[in-house]
Chains A and B, each alone.
Chain A
């Protein structure tokens, strides 16, 4: 195995439902992603992008096939271990930000670290906050932030625990094009600065153009871009 491969999926399948209504959301996906790459996943709606990303991040269990991150095969971990693995090694960014409304910006950012029982690296997080332009908003509650600001908080949260991989599901889906460009640029910049691998779903071909690699999915299969 190439030591440069951070993430590997083998014959990944995910079926929903049974019999007539059975949906092959993923139907035998094989892929390898190298450390430090910025990868875009594209495809039509319902093609299985989110399903793939969730499998890769261990949020959902595949019907068949394996996902290996670093040296860890996710299916070998139980629920508890998987959660711990996730908060240490993977950062998630969602389309609808998914910030915790009762926590302020700072608390949201350090949430995965706090759950891990660690002391947040103040200096490192301070740097991220500054890079993302959130210094003034540290004490704000998420409801009082704009969509772009909220997504920047979500990015900061994903970066805070210094994960190996960042998985982003349409992070700019709810943002206007100018803000989108800004967010993507920030994501790109921080990942390079901290040597992180990014896998990002997008519908925007321009954004896909900016990445190192593009994976196209149709009907639960990879059809190109590799």
Chain B
């Protein structure tokens, strides 16, 4: 998501369409994954394209209107190169004014908008410090990109201006209707047909307008699909399996984690929760800590090397694949061991061996074995092969003070989520206690038998729907006023966090879409106005021989609508194609997306575009086609 944030502050200014302000996030340092780079590149290319379409159009129109002047310069002895220089200098001047202005605007937009976006994000990472600093590299990059865009956009208009033969320029009429000499049609002249033939005057420009409008439709829809594809429930069920869970505040802190006995929950909070109405399916979850280093485990996994953590002084052993097992007093693995009630175990994702939770719990209660948890893919819950070191039936021997006390074969395997490991997305606790090594799950009775001073690290429970708000209020009050060392997580909070991702995608996507939409409509307005100014005489002619003002307006509205309809068709088709290729590919590569197709954003964009395309010509005609027919007819073409 960082990549989207970094694109924020993108500035719609035509002269520097690509500037961004930097977001430097002190904790989640931008990681340059291929998808991130790809997305960034796509966005940059799109902005360049958008700028190109707009700048090209402006210069194209400017050159067309000044073409007589350039022709005159050429007749009086200016060389082709000098004409080019003249226009290039104009572009340079505009860039010199526009780019710094754009950068400045981008800086301020970035400065005001970014913290807002980051604050949405930061709700899911409480300890993330937000630090927005403009990066000089971004500024230089944006300026270079903008200059490049201007350079690219002016190539063709400059060439056209320079290559026009001096005499031709005087006769140069855009309405030359191409090289066509005849048009086979006796259908008469309906308003839509009149409008349609006007579009044909400058096909290239028409295509550009349609492209720039379609771009906005496509972008909005792609972002809309991405936002719609944010799978909220997938994220919720990954981070918490119950409605509520109370833990030590260390567990919800991404920098700490549950590692010591003293962090265990006391009975007071558990009793207090029980006293609340609507609680069900509650289970205390026990977990071993660094203070339980006298209990260790032996199992058929080969370690290839060992070392000692310089900070904690705890020795660790590693497998060939680099999986880290922290070691206890006797040099055997500490593991992450959990004790829980059947109700909690039944919520886990049992995948191999004994998959019936009740039978499994019974058998474990009889001392027949243990449940092995394996880290799994966040999206698909497929066990990670790297961590899947043991098979069902493999023997795990429990050692206490160096003596074997129990033999526990693996009865089943479960795919772990964030809640199984610690809570939410934080896994610091297990990582610092057992390491990445085995995750073992036992009934409370067996667990308390093995460990001398068993402590509860989490209390998980469901609450009747009607009582949830009250429970939230109760817990909020409890962790602020009664026991600040505690914290709680809830499915509702997880949902809010997940929603924030969607909201941000909608916000950023909407913003980008609107920027492109505005650029497209500006493009359209620009073209329509130029067209009206260039055709004033023609309009007067039409009016003199019987076209009413209403009909003239309708004709121009048709013209606008043709652009919009073209853009809508192109936009919708491209939206569908891109949705099932690029967007599905990208969302497929991130776990919390589940591809969900929609054409609603494109549909809405199309309606807005159609309205804008109908309104713009009507207004432009009112404003720019003033004066009486006779006056306009007097002006020679």
Contacts and interface: CB of A to CB of B under 8 A. Distances in A.
B607 interface: no
A39 to B, nearest CB: 20
Contact of B549 (A83, A100, A113): A83
Interface string A100-130: 1111101100111111100010000000000
Contacts of B541: 94, 98, 100
Contacts of B180: 141
Contacts of A102: 175, 177, 194, 197-198, 200-201
A83 B547 contact: yes
A192 interface: no
Interface stretch (B157-165, B181-189, B269-277, B506-514): B181-189
B545 interface: yes
B545 A112 contact: yes
Nearest to B176: A143
B177 A141 contact: yes
Contacts of A141: 177, 180-183
Interface in B573-631: 628-630
Contact of A96 (B194, B548, B636): B636
- By size class, the interface of chain B is 35 or more
A120 B188 CA distance: 8
B33 to A, nearest CB: 53
Contact of A86 (B182, B537, B545): B545
A140 B175 CA distance: 15
B549 A79 contact: yes
Measured as residues with beta carbon below 8 angstroms from the partner, the interface class of chain A is 35 or more
A59 B629 contact: yes
Contacts of B188: 107, 110, 113-114, 120
Interface string B253-290: 00000000000000000000000000000000000000
A161 B547 CA distance: 13
A60 interface: yes
B354 to A, nearest CB: 80
B637 interface: yes
A84 interface: yes
B310 interface: no
Contacts of B543: 83
B427 to A, nearest CB: 69
Interface in B386-433: none
A59 B629 CA distance: 7
A140 B188 CA distance: 14
B77 interface: no
B79 interface: no
A111 B185 CA distance: 13
A12 to B, nearest CB: 15
Contacts of A139: 182-185
Identify the 7 closest CB pairs spanning chains A and B, nearest first.
Answer: A87-B546, A112-B546, A102-B197, A98-B541, A114-B189, A101-B175, A83-B548
27 contacts: A59-B628, A59-B629, A60-B630, A80-B550, A83-B543, A86-B545, A86-B546, A87-B545, A91-B545, A94-B541, A96-B637, A98-B544, A100-B541, A101-B173, A102-B200, A106-B186, A107-B187, A110-B189, A111-B542, A113-B188, A114-B188, A115-B189, A115-B546, A116-B546, A120-B188, A139-B184, A141-B181
Interface of B: 173, 175-177, 180-190, 194, 197-198, 200-201, 537-538, 541-551, 628-630, 633, 636-637
